[in-house]
Amino acid sequence: MRNALSLTILCFTIFLSCKGPEARRPINKQSGVYVDNSIKRNKKLIALEEQDIQKHIEKNASQEYIASPNGFWYTFVKKDSTQLVTPQVGDLVSFNYDVKTLAGTSILTTEEVGNQVYQIDQSNQDLISGLREGLKLMKPGEVVTFLLPSYQAYGYYGIDGKIGSNVIIKTTVTLNEIKNKNEDN
């Protein structure tokens, strides 16, 4: 009986001592303060950039700028009302553009950039988001000037040796040709 009681206690002790793995807790808990501060800083930056763009638009009252739902402004330098076609997803577009600061200082010339070919929304080409969205608004032969806040342009990184971080740009784009994705080569 004594052995049975000892065996029962031993089994009961072993049973109670076995418990599942316990998750390790982090040593340092992140409070999200850095992210919150970054959000506040970026909202202030966007507001300041939008004020600068509005001032530029007011100075150039002879040009009618249109606010895009994507966060940039544009004006037609040359508009073609006879064309009906705008680029659609998968279409190949051929275009030229230049890049200037909002004050008009040249950063990249049309010659430096050269003729560009881009497949709408399906290309891995390194093209700033403002141009990707802006091309969709254009028709062949049109020339459009875009005012792009830094987050739609080169953002925090800029262009090494050419443009610093968080710079508003002004770019004039000429859409040369749209090649429909369904056309045979």
Mean pLDDT to the nearest integer, 102-128: 87
> Whole-angstrom Cα distance, residue 149 to residue 7?
77
pLDDT at 184 (0 to 100):
52
Element (H, E) at 73: strand 73-78
Indicate the SS3 state at residue 119. Answer: strand
| Residues written for the chain | 185
Q: Which residues pair with 177 in a beta bridge?
A: 94
Q: Provide the token pair at 185.
A: 């080569």
Global model pTM greater than 0.85? no
pLDDT at 14 (0 to 100):
67
Domains of the chain: 45-179 (3.10.50.40)
Q: Provide the token pair at 37.
A: 């501060």
